[in-house]
Structures are given as C-alpha cells and as structure tokens.
Structure 1
Amino acid sequence: MSHHPTITRWLSGCALLCSAAHATDGYFQNGYSTRSSGAGGVGIALPQDAVAGAYNPAATAWLHRRLDIGLSAFVPDRSATIHGNPLASGHYGGNGSHWFPIPEFGWSRPLPHALSVGIAAYANGGMNTTYRHNPYAAFGSRGKAGVSLEQAFVSPTLAWQYAPGQALGIGLNFAWQHFEARGLGAFASASIAPDQLSNNGYHNSTGWGPSAGWLGRFGPFSLGLAWTARIHASRFKAYQGLFASHGSFDIPQRYGLGLAWQATRQLTLASDIQRIDYADVESIAQPIEALLAGRPLGSHDGPGFGWRSITSYKFGAIYQLSGPLKLRLGFSHAGNPVPTGQTFFNILAPAVAENHLSAGASWKVGHHGELSLAYTHAFSKHIRGRNSVPQPFGGGEADLQLGEDQLGLAYAYIY
C-alpha cells in the first residue's frame, strides 16, 4: 500500500518515537492526550484540545484555532508465573524495557461555511514484553523472549456545524505498525513458516480506515457518538509464521457514546462508553486451542492471543479555579480482553489491567499558551490461568500481572 510521502514520514517519525507500552484498554490508550488522560480518558462529547478528533471527528467543530503538542512517559510493570508444570514452573519478570515515550500532536482551524479542519497524531501500544529469563526456554526457545508492537496514527478530520450546536464530522486514519517477536523458537514445529516466526527484527505494516461522529449541545449538556472503522493493514511478512492468515494484523473497529454536563460555571462532568471489537480480528482473537485442533500458527484460522472484545467506561471531572488554573480528576474501567484459559500465549502480552485513576491540571501561560500535566495510575491486576497451559506443553497454569503509571506534559498555543 502506498501513501503520500508526507504522511509516510509523519507515521515513520511517530513510530520511531513511541515504543509500545501496555495501554490498559487492551492495547488502546486510555487517553490520547494529556488533558483527556487527566480526566479519565473522556473525549467523545468533551473536546479539550486539537487531539479530540481522534475520539470524535465532529469535535473538530468546537476547537477553534489551536496547536497542541505533548509527550508522556509510560512505565508498566508486567510479569508471569507458571505453576504446576514439570518443566517451566517459576516466576518471570517481563520488564526488560522499563519505560516508553508516547507522543501527541493536534492542530485545528475553522473554515468558512461552518466548516472546521484538524489533524491529530497519536499512538497505541500494548503488546510489549522483554523476558530476560525466557518462559518458553524449557520447551526449546533460546535467548530473551518478548514482543513489541507499536502503532502510530495520523488522522485528518473535517467537521460541519450544520445547525447551531450540532456538528457532524468525518476522518481518515492512516496507521503505521512496527512489530518484533523474540525467543519463540519453541513454537517452530507448530508454524506454517518456522523461519518467519521469531527473531526477524522489526517489520512494518500500514493501513487506513475512515471514522465518523456527531456532537450536539443541548443547554448545559453535550452528547456525542463516534465510530472508527477496522483498519485493514498490510501483512507482517517477516512474521507470517506467527500471526493468523499469513501475518495479518488488522486494527479493530471501535465505537462509543459520550455525555458531558456543565454542572456549574466552574464544574464540568463527563462520561464515555466505548466498545473495542478485538474479537473480530482473527490474529488477535483466535484461541490457542486452534493449535491443538491442527491449525498451525500463521494459517487461516490459526491460533492467536484469544482476546475477546471489551467495553470501557470513563468518568471525568474538570474544575476551573479562579485565575489561570484548571483541575482534572478521572476514573476508568476497561474489561480484560484475556480469558483465563488463554494466559499461556499471553505471557507475551499480559494486557490485563482494568482500573485507572488519574489527575491533571492546566494553567495559562501568557495570552496564548496553556501548559498541562496529567498522571494516571493503573492498579495492578492479577489474572489466574485456568486450564491455560496446553497438555502438549506439560499442563499447569500461567498467571499474569500488569500495573502501570503514566506522566504526561503538553503545551497548547491557542490563537
């Protein structure tokens, strides 16, 4: 697939900057911008910056002229424990890489005829581990084990305020994926392409898909609807012996509803409900039992990570103090995509954290600037495996653990 060279450079630069990290909504970020993260990740009905088009393209209609840039430091803590297995029982730490930078960028501008345009650049990640002590070594793997998935997006949007307080928006999402797998030699005999299973360095994949949204204001209330289509991405050719359908790894669709309430002149409350359809993407959703049914890694309907679709619930509060200071507080809960019977392969991607608490603040700098800070803590979550290690590997259970901290800083120029 070929894209305009400027878009390709944007995606390449963003992918090089953003190392993958567990993002708590599976491998989607809990919030795509510092301001949103500080308020629990809400954004469908409450645009706070020019990255808002990533949540809802219609939000671009309310942003006016602004430029937003930011960077977050993401620190996950992930590990696995195997027990009841005669070969591999033990505790395994996956923190070979300790922290990851995650960038954000947004720009917006109104046009004549009630139109507005914007562009958002943001990142996902969520399948990153480095096990210096390889959990699969007892079964024949060598060296460090782990995977690294990085996703960078550039999303131009166009919004039309077709009536006072009512807007429709459309967007086009260009995606760049960057992936590497290491230390999976134990699965070579179960792959259609053993030489394209592991230890082939990083490989890239690109794709695109549309998005659409609506945002309406009704007195003190705002209501938003947003949808982002599944992105059909090119295959990871160097890993067509790992992912189902010869290296396919599409990005699932997501859709959601948002509500915001201007409770007082100072206080705004908001909530989002979002669905992410992981179960519709074969390479993510196929269970490891496909291997036992004679469908090898890399084949059509071959085994994947066994993830199920999830729903996330986000709640945020924003309070404008007298003067230049604005405070944010938020909480979010995302379903766990990893079933208890699928933990053995998900040692590579233990994206099981569910509950997150966040806080943030913004303060004006001069006549046009605003500086924002946000901190998010994902409470450590332990998942106990149940019939999780297949009998050909000796049986037993694999338990997973994930906790996270994220600190973000962003600057806005409003003109």
Structure 2
Amino acid sequence: MGKLLKAHMKCAAALCALTLGASQAYATEGYFANGVGARHKAVAGAGVADARDATAITINPAGLANLDENEVAVALSLFNPNREFTVTGGPGFLPDGTTESNVDIFPIPNFAIAYKVGENGTLGFSLSGNGGLNTNYSAVDNPACSSGPFPASDGVYCGGKSGVNLMQLFFSAAYAHDFGAVKVGVTPIFAVQRFRARGLAAFGGVSSDPTNLTDNGQSYSTGFGARVGVQVDPAPGFRIGATYQTKFSMGEFDEYAGLFADQGGFDIPSTWQVGIAADVSPQLTVMADYRRINYSDVTSVNNPSSVMLPFGSTDGPGFGWDDVDAYKLGVEYRPDEGSAFRFGYSHNSQPISGDDVTINVLAPGVQKDHFTAGASFAMGDSSTLELALMHSPGESVTGIEVTPMGPNPGRDIEIKMNQWEFTLGMKFKL
C-alpha cells in the first residue's frame, strides 16, 4: 500500500503542476465551480448530505466519515466556455458587432485522498480548483482607439490583445469523525490564486495606479481559510447536511493594484450549503441542495463599476456582482454494486446586472442553468471509472455602454456565454 500511496501523491504533484501551469476557467456559479470531482459534477453540485468518496473534503468534510475504506480519487475535466459580447447602436467606445473570446478548452484537475483512522475517524487531503475565469480577445479593429492617447490603435480597450485570467487553487487537509447519527468534519485550507490582465489601456485615465493596471504578467497571492461540515442521519435512508466555508483574506495582487479596489485586493468570499438526501429505494437516491456564495464579502467583486472613484482606490469600483443563490437537484441510480447512473440540474441567480456589462466583458459570469449527467463502472475489486457531462445553455445580460468619459445610453452591450464540460475520473481503494 505504501508504494501505491507514493504513486498517488506523485500524481497529485503532477496535477498541481498542470493546474498552476494552465489558464483556468470553471463551470460556474458566478466564478465559483459548481461541482468538484466526477460524481459531484454529475449531480450538478448537489450532495452535501450524500458524500460517498474522498472528494467529500471539498463538498462537506463530514462526509468523509461515510467511507469504510482508504481511497484515492482523481479526475480531469475538459471545460469549454464560449464567451462573446455584441455591441449595437450609435457611436461609442467598444468595437461594433460581435467579438468572441479565443481560448475555449481548459483542463481542470482534481485530486483527493482519504485514510481511515481507527473505527470512527477519517483523515483526508485534496487539491482542487475553487473557481476561476478567463477571457482572451484578439487585437480587433477599434476606430475609437485612434482618438485618444492609447498605446495601441486596436483592441477591445485600445491595448491590443486583451483579457483576464484568474485561477484559485485550494490545498485542503481534513478530519472527520463519526458519532453515529451525527458526523462532523473540519478542513483547514491554504489558498493560492493567480491573476493576469492585459490590454486594458483605456482604463489608465481612471486608475489610481496606471503603472499597476495592466500587462504586468502573472500576479500571485495566498491566504488561509477553513471549511466545516456536519451530516445528521435522523432516520434510516434520510440525511441532512450542511457546510460553511469562511472568507479568505488574501494578499493583494500588487501588480494590479491599479485595477482591483483596495490596492489590488481580491479576497475569496464565504459560502455555505445545506441539503437533504433521501434513499427512495436501496438503488435510488435523490438529493436537493441550496448554496449561497457571498460575493458581497469582496469589495473588488461586489462594488458597482459606477463608483465615482479611480480603479484600485480604497472602496473603489468593482465588477458589480451580487450574491448568488443556487438551487440543486441530483439523482443517483445504482442498478448493482459495480455501476451507477447520475443526473442533475442546478439554477442560480444572476450575479451581473445590466449596469455593469462594460467591465464584465472581461468576466462574463452570466450562467444560470446547468444540466448534468454521469456514470461510474467498477473496473475490478479496487478501482472505479467515473464519467460526467455538463451543459449550461446560452445566457446573456444586456446594458448600456459606459465609456471612460461616462455612460453612452445610445449604445448597448450584450455579454453572452454557454458552456460544456466533460470529466473523466478514477477512484482507487488502497
């Protein structure tokens, strides 16, 4: 078992390198991932009361206590978000017509391991993405760029190629204890996030620190937080689960202190999730969850873009994102001990309003509905193959253009996105 464990830890290190070396985006509720691991993704992020594998660390750590064997779970998702914006109406600043973001396929790895400690305890470790976003626009023709002191004569924001890339990675350790009808878990978390922006020259005149606004390469920040969870089994075949993840006070993105409010502040907001799971029969489980993401915890995310202060200043403009309420339904059918089939649906509130579409061309996190399906198949006595598929249909938000000189009510911007994701996972009993 020692050799196998070392092999899996090497796999985790490789996944970490892949994650840190790639651009990231996620099937999103705002910019948070709506599920982690193949099983959780296949039920649209439901299951806070029905964790059945090592990825419980990232969902509800109390669920680790449900495991009766040591386990490793690894997964790789291929995520395809199709982002674009369309500008119509009279003269204005952003380029006319439809502009599409270029990079459309993102690999997203996930790793978790759980190890039984005595009769009632379970230890775990996971490496997972909490969320992220990405846009990558070509240096499109833009006549407005010739009329101002900009470094380029093309690009969405007169800086040539433009876009942003945000990645958030969680290193989580967990302990869960089984008290019988009540299970509890706690997970200290170390978070690393990375951000890059380019081509945002048009914001230079409204930035508190233009030299730390755009095109400064990758910027990193770190911080700590925690996740706690509980699962209660009040009756056979019926479970109640709840989990809370604290706000992370992250270090500043110093290289982008002129973009994000509070001199580059970009904390990670708190979240909580509650749910129930009912075994309708020995083969069929139904899950229903509610999740809250408190984007209002973070000034640079929540503040409206219309705040009359320079970008990067204390309590300055942000992306105008509201808190998100997400409702999730998942179904798992197990016809035999070696296989399972899963379906899910989630719906969340819209974080972006029409008042903030101009800045959210960079971060069009407009998705509201996710349809999911998946399956798992035993590959022997100690391994299981897992699959998941997600589709989020096209969603859009429209509002008037807001230029560096002020609102332009005769010109509309529509930001739009649809998403696909395929996940392949494996679980191993140690």
Maintained 8 Å contact 1:262/1:268: yes
- 1:31 equivalent to 2:35? Answer yes
Maintained 8 Å contact 1:24/1:378: no
Classify 1:277/1:134 alpha carbon distance in 2 versus 1 (closer, same or farther; 3 Å): farther
Report the equivalent of 1:342.
Answer: 356
TM-score, length of structure 2 as denominator length: 0.89
Classify 1:11/1:407 alpha carbon distance in 2 versus 1 (closer, same or farther; 3 Å): closer
Distance (whole Å) between structure 2 residues aligned to residue 315 and residue 14 of structure 1: 31
Equivalent residue for 1:153, pick from 165, 170, 183: 170
Percent identity between matched residues is 34
Report the equivalent of 1:166.
Answer: 182
- 1:379 equivalent to 2:396? Answer no
1:171 Cα shift? Answer: 0.8
Maintained 8 Å contact 2:112/2:124: yes
- 1:207 equivalent to 2:195? Answer no
1:388 Cα shift? Answer: 5.4
Distance (whole Å) between structure 2 residues aligned to residue 250 and residue 357 of structure 1: 29
Distance (whole Å) between structure 2 residues aligned to residue 93 and residue 22 of structure 1: 21
Equivalent residue for 1:356, pick from 370, 387, 392: 370
Q: How does 1:223-234 map to 2 (within 5 A)?
A: 223-234=240-251
1:385 is paired with a residue whose SS is strand
1:161 Cα shift? Answer: 1.5
Distance (whole Å) between structure 2 residues aligned to residue 332 and residue 325 of structure 1: 24
Maintained 8 Å contact 2:47/2:330: no
1:9 Cα shift? Answer: 7.3
Equivalent residue for 2:50, pick from 21, 46, 50: 46
Distance (whole Å) between structure 2 residues aligned to residue 201 and residue 92 of structure 1: 27
- 1:253 equivalent to 2:270? Answer yes
Classify 1:68/1:17 alpha carbon distance in 2 versus 1 (closer, same or farther; 3 Å): farther
Maintained 8 Å contact 2:206/2:404: no
- 1:60 equivalent to 2:74? Answer no
Q: Which moved more, 1:165-174 or 1:320-329?
A: 320-329
Equivalent residue for 2:424, pick from 406, 409, 413: 409
Distance (whole Å) between structure 2 residues aligned to residue 97 and residue 365 of structure 1: 35
Report the equivalent of 2:203.
Answer: 187
1:342-394 CA deviation, whole Å, 9 max, x = no partner? 11100000000111111100000111000000000001102121575676264
Q: Which moved more, 1:139-148 or 1:191-200?
A: 139-148
Maintained 8 Å contact 1:344/1:397: no
Q: How does 1:58-137 map to 2 (within 5 A)?
A: 58-64=62-68, 65-87=70-92, 88-112=94-118, 114-134=120-140
1:48 is paired with a residue whose SS is coil
Distance (whole Å) between structure 2 residues aligned to residue 297 and residue 393 of structure 1: 16
Amino acid corresponding to residue 34 of structure 2 in structure 1: N
- 1:322 equivalent to 2:322? Answer no
Q: Which moved more, 1:91-100 or 1:150-159?
A: 91-100
1:11 Cα shift? Answer: 9.3
2:406 is paired with a residue whose SS is helix
Amino acid corresponding to residue 103 of structure 1 in structure 2: P
Classify 1:96/1:184 alpha carbon distance in 2 versus 1 (closer, same or farther; 3 Å): same
Distance (whole Å) between structure 2 residues aligned to residue 137 and residue 123 of structure 1: 39
Maintained 8 Å contact 2:320/2:356: yes
Amino acid corresponding to residue 91 of structure 1 in structure 2: G
1:120 Cα shift? Answer: 1.8
2:336 is paired with a residue whose SS is coil
Classify 1:26/1:316 alpha carbon distance in 2 versus 1 (closer, same or farther; 3 Å): same
Classify 1:118/1:137 alpha carbon distance in 2 versus 1 (closer, same or farther; 3 Å): farther
**Alignment size in residue pairs:** 405
Report the equivalent of 2:153.
Answer: none
Maintained 8 Å contact 1:275/1:309: yes
Amino acid corresponding to residue 70 of structure 1 in structure 2: A
- Structure 1 unaligned blocks of 5 or more: 1-5
Amino acid corresponding to residue 58 of structure 1 in structure 2: A
2:123 is paired with a residue whose SS is strand
1:174 Cα shift? Answer: 1.1
2:399 is paired with a residue whose SS is coil
1:189 Cα shift? Answer: 1.0
Maintained 8 Å contact 1:223/1:259: yes
Classify 1:12/1:39 alpha carbon distance in 2 versus 1 (closer, same or farther; 3 Å): closer
Amino acid corresponding to residue 311 of structure 1 in structure 2: D
1:271 Cα shift? Answer: 1.3
TM-score, length of structure 1 as denominator length: 0.93
- 1:264 equivalent to 2:278? Answer no
1:287-325 CA deviation, whole Å, 9 max, x = no partner? 1111xx2x1010011101000000111111010123622
1:135 Cα shift? Answer: 8.8
Distance (whole Å) between structure 2 residues aligned to residue 317 and residue 46 of structure 1: 11
Amino acid corresponding to residue 201 of structure 2 in structure 1: G
